[in-house]
Amino acid sequence: MINELMIILFAPLIAGVVAWALDIKGIREAIGIIGAAIPLAYLVKLYPTIIENPIDYSITVSGFTLQFQLNTMSWYFAAVASLVGLAMAFGMAVTSRESYDWLFALMSFTGVLGVFLSQDFVGFFLLWELMTFASFMMVLRRNRHESLKYFVLSVIGAYAMLIAIGMLYAKTGALDFASIRQVLYMDAAMGTITTRETAIIFGLFLTAFGVKAGAVPLHVWAPGAYSETDQSYTAFFSGALSKAGAYGFLLLYILMGYKLYAAFGTFHNHLTFAYIIAWIGAITVVVASFLAVLQEDIRKLFAYSSVGQVGYILLAFGLGSTLGFAGGLFHVLSHAIFKGLFWLVTAAIILQTGKTQFKDMGGLAEKMPFTFAMGLIAVLSLAGIPPMAGFASKWLIYEAAISAHMPLVAGAIFLGSALAFAYVVRFLYAVWFGQRPSDLEDVKEAPLPLLIAMALLAIPNLVFGVAPGLVTQYINKILGGEVVGGDYYKLVTPTGTYNALLVTIALVIGLAIAGLVYIYGAKTRKIPVTNTYQSGNPVTEEFNLSIRRNFYKPLAEALEFWLKYSWDRFYERVAGMAEDFADSLRQAFYNGNVQSYSWYLAIVLLILALWGVL
């Protein structure tokens, strides 16, 4: 029987394989886009019925029963991923010229969908690996070192997860979520699984999902991997793939929440394990945002920004309250759409100019007006300026942090927002305004498919910004209660209210007045645009700060002490040590002398003998 879920799951993969095998220009793009559109189409079609009737699907593969279910929560995640995936496909139609890319991009699409839809650990792990592998192959093509860094960390995460799964399997005898959940729920009272084992399983899962979500200190793969691939694909990579990590944390709550609570208890009236997650999120937000501010490369900047934004989601989930979940879930959506949009804008810029550094950019707003408009929406949304989707979700998270009585964490949110503002402002000015380098004079607007892709993500930014209730009411259904009140335009929480429509109207009126002033007010005169902004320092050759070059160098100097320590370098060193260890191991053990080899045999015999004698 062909089930809708199977179509949703495998349409991208099959389309990818077909596109790869045919490899005819034009046709492969068409097939790819169709394959990416099918899941979204089906999800939209199934939307009306999904709340009452979850759709189940299960297949037995080599003795394992893989179960998939489309329920309210998985629909939400799958829909977000499909939306970004479709945008990615449109973007790739322009930016990618290889069937190789199509194969692996669509393969990872299937992987992400599968992770969200799986209801048992075998399918979850299988598709998780598939997703990791496919995204890795996207990077491998362009940069071996970065891709291996990504893959090694991911695989360590995946294997940590596998061990955790295996331990759970050994303890509970089940691999499907429902049974595991039930057994662990019962076990919380009986305590057959010791606290130590629970801690190990929790730690392993934390590692696994932390890697994928890019939580500090496991984030080091993100900058390299996000920047060293096709930028349209990065929209999906950062927008949807990293959400798999966030989803994993949610899963942790669902499956093990009660058991973890029973094992670790509370800390300051707060679930201990959730506290850990919240702080991981908060640290990720702060560290990644600082690092993002200091980047000179657009791709690196957004890569760190992505890490930071996923940190928000973790933070929200770590609050442990339903409001926190609501905020986190909303942020999943809004981050996917604004960060996806950002990456597509970046893709357009790189495609049209071939440059990635801030110092080579400037004044592109006139040349690429539509792209600029899209970029502006993304910037507003990311910086958390109403009436964009980004504001609504951040506001919810903030409210949740306050009502959970975690002021330090709330402070991290604030700090993160401020820093986000700092880096997007630089992006906004350095790329779009100011003096245009002479070699960018004949830059053209991005091609149509890319524009479609951007529009696809920009519209939800606006719609969900103006009417956040659309999302929160669905989230209420996921969480099974009236968590966030209000109507389509108004959000009501225990501590505050946000009326998006009002804000929008105010904003529109304000903009109208400003426009009137601009048109009828003061006389404008054209002056040449130069870099006037020098941070109050005298301009010298060594200390030449402009918005395009070393803009935040003073900040970097202030943070010098902290920047000395880098997780990235630490991991590199560990890897180098492992390789040296491997070398000396094989040189010493396989030394080529058959007499040494005979000694190994004798030693084994000796061990056998001693074990027999003693």
Partner 1 sequence: MNGQYASLLIALPLISAFFVPLIKGLGKKAVKYYLVLITALQTGIAAWVFQEVYTTGKPIIVMAGAWRPPVGINLYIGHFAALFVLIVAVVSFLMAVFSIRAISVDPIDKYAMLFLLVMLGATGMIATGDIFNLFVFMEITAISAYALTAYNKTGEAAEASIKYIILGGIGSSFFLIGIALIYGSLGTLNMAQIAQLAGGMDATVAQVGLALIVFGLAVEAELFPLNAWAPDAYQAAPHPITAMFSAFVVKAGLYALARILYLMQAVSSWHSVLKLLIIMATLTVFVAEFAALRQKNVKRMIAYSSIAQIGLIGLAFALGTQSGVDAGVFHMVNHAIVKALLFLAVGHVAVSLGGAEMEKFEGLGKRMPLTAFAITVGAIAAVGIPLFNVFWSKLRILLATLGAGYSWAAAVVLIASVVEAVYYFRLIHTMWFAGEGERISEGLAVSLMLLFLAALVIVIGVYPDYAWSIAQKAGNDIFNVADYIKNVPLMGVGA
Partner 2 sequence: MISAYYFGAISLILIGLYAILVKKNVLKMLIGLSIMETGVNLLLVSVGYISGRSAPILSEGIGPNQAVDPIPQALVLTAIVIGVATTAMALSVAMIIYEKYGTLNVEEIRRLRG
Partner 3 sequence: MLKRALAIITLLIIGYWLAQGLAGVPFGEDRMLVAQYYLDHVKEQTGAVNTVTAVVVNYRGFDTLGEVTVLFIASTGVGALLWRKKRERTAKTEGSIVLTTGTRLLAPFIMLFGAYIFIHGHLTPGGGFPGGATIATAFLLLYMAFTVYEIPHKTFEKVEGAVGMAYVLVGLIGLAIGGYFLYDWIWQDWGFGVDNVGRLLSGGFIPVIYTIIGLKVGTELSGIIDNMLKEEVSE
Residues that bind partner 2 (CB under 8 A): 586-587, 590-595, 598-599, 602
613 binds, among partner 2, partner 1, partner 3, none (CB under 5 to 8 A by kind): partner 3
Give backbone dihedrals phi and psi of 71, rounded to 5 degrees, phi first: -120, -170
Determine how β-strand 55-61 pairs with β-strand 490-493.
unpaired
* Nearest CB to partner 3, comparing residues 511 and 602: 602
Whole-Å CA distances, 263 to 112, 193, 194, 457: 31, 9, 8, 43
Stretch that binds partner 3, among 13-21, 289-297, 514-522, 604-612 (CB under 8 A): 604-612
Task: Give me the least distance between CB of 144 and partner 2, in Å please.
Answer: 23
Nearest by Cα to 254 from 66, 418, 74: 74
**Does 585 sit near partner 3 (CB under 8 A)?**
no
Q: How many CA atoms lie within 13 A of 456 on its CB side?
A: 24
Size of the site for partner 3 (CB under 8 A): 9
**Does 225 sit near partner 1 (CB under 8 A)?**
no
* Nearest CB to partner 1, comparing residues 77 and 133: 133
381, 386, 389, 392: CA torsion to nearest 10: 120
Q: How many CA atoms lie within 13 A of 65 on its CB side?
A: 11
Which of 122, 292, 293, 402 touches partner 1 (CB under 8 A)?
Answer: 122
**Does 574 sit near partner 1 (CB under 8 A)?**
no
* Nearest CB to partner 2, comparing residues 267 and 597: 597
- Alpha-carbon gap, residue 335 to 313, rounded angstroms: 9
* Nearest CB to partner 1, comparing residues 165 and 397: 165
Nearest by Cα to 339 from 460, 429, 451: 460
Which of 51, 513, 558, 603 touches partner 3 (CB under 8 A)?
Answer: 603
Task: Give me the least distance between CB of 574 and partner 2, in Å please.
Answer: 23
Q: Which helix (H) or strand (E) holds 36?
A: helix 27-50
Q: Is residue 525 left, alpha or beta, with left meaning phi > 0 and alpha meaning psi from -120 to 50?
A: beta
**Does 605 sit near partner 3 (CB under 8 A)?**
yes
**Does 159 sit near partner 1 (CB under 8 A)?**
yes
**Does 602 sit near partner 3 (CB under 8 A)?**
yes
Encoded amino acid at 307, one letter: V
**Does 578 sit near partner 1 (CB under 8 A)?**
yes
**Does 21 sit near partner 3 (CB under 8 A)?**
no
* Nearest CB to partner 1, comparing residues 31 and 103: 103
Task: Give me the least distance between CB of 583 and partner 2, in Å please.
Answer: 8
Task: Give me the least distance between CB of 592 and partner 1, in Å please.
Answer: 8
Task: Give me the least distance between CB of 599 and partner 1, in Å please.
Answer: 9
Which of 508, 516, 558, 606 touches partner 3 (CB under 8 A)?
Answer: 606
Encoded amino acid at 602, one letter: A
Give yes or no for a contact between 31 and 95, defined as CB atoms under 8 angstroms apart.
no
- Alpha-carbon gap, residue 239 to 242, rounded angstroms: 7
* Nearest CB to partner 1, comparing residues 86 and 130: 130
**Does 516 sit near partner 1 (CB under 8 A)?**
no
Per-residue tokens: 165: 């799964």
Which of 45, 97, 144, 573 touches partner 1 (CB under 8 A)?
Answer: 144
Size of the site for partner 1 (CB under 8 A): 52
Task: Give me the least distance between CB of 603 and partner 3, in Å please.
Answer: 8
Stretch that binds partner 1, among 232-240, 381-389, 457-465, 577-585 (CB under 8 A): 577-585
* Nearest CB to partner 3, comparing residues 581 and 599: 599
418 binds, among partner 3, partner 1, partner 2, none (CB under 5 to 8 A by kind): none
* Nearest CB to partner 3, comparing residues 1 and 614: 614
- Alpha-carbon gap, residue 324 to 399, rounded angstroms: 8
Encoded amino acid at 332, one letter: V
**Does 601 sit near partner 3 (CB under 8 A)?**
no
**Does 130 sit near partner 1 (CB under 8 A)?**
yes
Q: Is the dihedral of CA 486, 491, 496, 500 positive or negative?
A: negative
Tell me 430's DSSP state: I
408 binds, among partner 2, partner 3, partner 1, none (CB under 5 to 8 A by kind): none
**Does 604 sit near partner 1 (CB under 8 A)?**
yes
Which of 520, 561, 565, 611 touches partner 1 (CB under 8 A)?
Answer: 611
Based on DSSP, count helices (H) and strands (E) in the chain, helices before strands.
Answer: 24, 4
**Does 194 sit near partner 1 (CB under 8 A)?**
no
Stretch that binds partner 3, among 61-69, 150-158, 422-430, 597-605 (CB under 8 A): 597-605
126 binds, among partner 1, partner 3, partner 2, none (CB under 5 to 8 A by kind): partner 1
- Alpha-carbon gap, residue 120 to 245, rounded angstroms: 16
What are residue 120's DSSP bridge partners?
176
Cis ω before 460 (30° cut-off from 0): no
178 Cβ contact partners less than 8 Å away, ≥ 6 residues apart: 119
**Does 201 sit near partner 1 (CB under 8 A)?**
no
Tell me 271's DSSP state: B
* Nearest CB to partner 1, comparing residues 225 and 404: 225
610 binds, among partner 2, partner 3, partner 1, none (CB under 5 to 8 A by kind): partner 3
Which of 519, 527, 588, 610 touches partner 3 (CB under 8 A)?
Answer: 610
Nearest by Cα to 533 from 514, 554, 513, 519: 554
Determine how β-strand 64-70 pairs with β-strand 55-61.
antiparallel
Long-range CB pairs of 122-127 (<8 Å, 24+ gap) are: 122/64, 122/65, 122/66, 122/175, 123/64, 123/66, 123/67, 123/68, 125/158, 125/161, 125/162, 125/165, 126/66
Give backbone dihedrals phi and psi of 176, rounded to 5 degrees, phi first: -90, 150
* Chain contacts with partner 3 (rule: CB under 8 A): 602-603, 605-606, 608-610, 612-613
* Chain contacts with partner 1 (rule: CB under 8 A): 60-63, 122, 125-127, 129-130, 133, 136, 140-141, 144, 147-148, 151-152, 155-156, 159, 162-163, 165-167, 169-170, 578-579, 581-583, 585-586, 589-590, 592, 594, 596-598, 600-601, 603-605, 607-608, 611-612
